[in-house]
Amino acid sequence: MNANDWMPLVFMGLMGLALLVYVILDGYDLGVGLLMAGASSEHKDRMVASIGPFWDANETWLVLGVGILLVAFPKAHGLIIGALYGPVAVMLIGLTLRGVAFDFRVKAQTAWKPLWNRAFIVGSLMASLAQGWMLARYITAFETGPAYTAFAAVIALALAAAYVLLGAGWLIMKTDGDLQALAVKRAKKAWPAVVLGLALVSLATPLVSPTVSARWFSMPALIALLPIPLCTGLALLALRALLNSHRVLGKLCWLPFALMVLVMLLGSLGLAYSLYPYVLIDRMTVWQAAAAPKSLAFILWGCAIAVPAIAAYTVFAYRVFWGKAGELRYA
């Protein structure tokens, strides 16, 4: 295999990895933002404190993933971003609203703090729903019609529910006392929505995408792929059983979050299998969308520096701020 064949695959893998890490890392802090709805003022402060050292840096992975799409697959970038202009704008507005609210909620006068709390929640909701909508539109290659619109709405709600469950797992791991107990209760409420959403998505995806249907329901692929849904189901059942155990408040506080990360990893593995070798399903393969080989070779050197640097910073930040979250403080 020459460089013209393997370099597009390397960039596809890097882009997929960056977006997966973003969904997991920014997913939990978006989930925490959604969980702030209905929480007390004290709990809201501790929720924000639990994500304070991480949330902004988590979005670096989104920039990396979209940047790789732009420079390595410019033909696909124009089509994808053009088709998703509306939800991308909604997501960016939501993320901007979160960033502004994060600082203003503590620095503004007391009377304005509830407004900025609501802004943080609304921004989290906008970003979560927009990402789910974009995922659905991308999977269906931007086909239009009532069925595709309904499918996008289902995935948008399912992803938001998954973020809530992931955020609840984060709070169970990072907090204690009343807030930890509240996170367990919220996780129990979110769990059925996640299971229902995944079931609907699993049933609907083959119906709206003939390519995905052929990939999953042909033999012997069906047998080989069975471990993915089976392991996903077992992880979700284990997560629900754990939420009923008192150990989730103690030594096993990390396990709900880990199980939800596993669910997302399995989901991404299934999605990658469904899409390969397309950058845009049924329309453009990785080789058709890739930039010129000399451009890819030059960009690869930049990625060889940038990706390890971002990964090292991420690991360092989580290592430094590991453990239970303390009180919220601003310099």
How far apart (Å, rounded) are the C-alpha atoms in residues 316 and 277?
34
Question: Within a domain: residue 331?
Answer: no
pTM of the entire predicted model: 0.92
Cβ contacts of 8 within 8 Å, gap of 6 or more: 72, 73, 286, 287, 289, 290, 296
End-to-end Cα distance, the chain: 54
Cβ atoms 4, 293 nearer than 8 A: yes
Residue 1 has pLDDT above 80, yes or no: no
Entry field: residues in the chain: 331
Beta strand segments in 99-233, E: none
Cβ atoms 135, 143 nearer than 8 A: no
Average pLDDT score over residue span 243-261: 92
Residue 223 has pLDDT above 90, yes or no: no
Residue at token pair 């669910």: 263
Question: Within a domain: residue 328?
Answer: no
The whole-number pLDDT of residue 113 equals 83
> pLDDT tens-digit profile of 66-99?
889 888 898 888 888 888 999 999 999 999 999 8
Cis, bond preceding 192 (omega within 30 deg of 0): no
Cβ count within 10 A of residue 42 = 12
Question: Within a domain: residue 304?
Answer: yes
Cβ atoms 286, 278 nearer than 8 A: yes
Phi, psi of 285 (to 5 degrees): -80, 170
Q: What percent of the chain has pLDDT over 70?
A: 97
Q: What percent of the chain has pLDDT over 90?
A: 44
Residue 238 has pLDDT above 70, yes or no: yes
Question: Within a domain: residue 3?
Answer: no
Residue 199 has pLDDT above 90, yes or no: no
> pLDDT tens-digit profile of 148-179?
898 899 899 999 999 999 999 999 999 988 99
Question: Within a domain: residue 1?
Answer: no
Question: Within a domain: residue 330?
Answer: no
Query: Between the ranges 54-58, 192-196, 271-275, 319-323, where is the mean pLDDT highest?
Result: 192-196
Cβ atoms 205, 212 nearer than 8 A: yes
**pLDDT-based confidence at residue 325 (cuts at 50, 70, 90):** confident
DSSP state of 218: S
- Average pLDDT of the chain to the nearest whole number: 88
More confidently predicted of 105 and 126: 126
The whole-number pLDDT of residue 161 equals 94
Residue 274 has pLDDT above 70, yes or no: yes
Domain of residue 14, residue span: 8-320
Residue 330 has pLDDT above 60, yes or no: no
Cβ atoms 49, 328 nearer than 8 A: yes
Residue 306 has pLDDT above 80, yes or no: yes
Question: Within a domain: residue 2?
Answer: no
**pLDDT-based confidence at residue 123 (cuts at 50, 70, 90):** very high
CA distance to 40, 216, 287, per residue, from 202 (Å):
36, 11, 28
More confidently predicted of 326 and 324: 324
Average pLDDT score over residue span 201-217: 78
> What is the tally of structural domains in the chain?
1
The whole-number pLDDT of residue 96 equals 93
**85-89, 174-178, 211-215, 312-316: range with lowest mean pLDDT:** 211-215
How far apart (Å, rounded) are the C-alpha atoms in residues 279 and 32?
31
The whole-number pLDDT of residue 328 equals 58
The whole-number pLDDT of residue 327 equals 63
**23-27, 31-35, 293-297: range with lowest mean pLDDT:** 293-297
285 forms beta bridges with 278
**pLDDT-based confidence at residue 112 (cuts at 50, 70, 90):** confident
Question: Within a domain: residue 96?
Answer: yes
**pLDDT-based confidence at residue 118 (cuts at 50, 70, 90):** very high
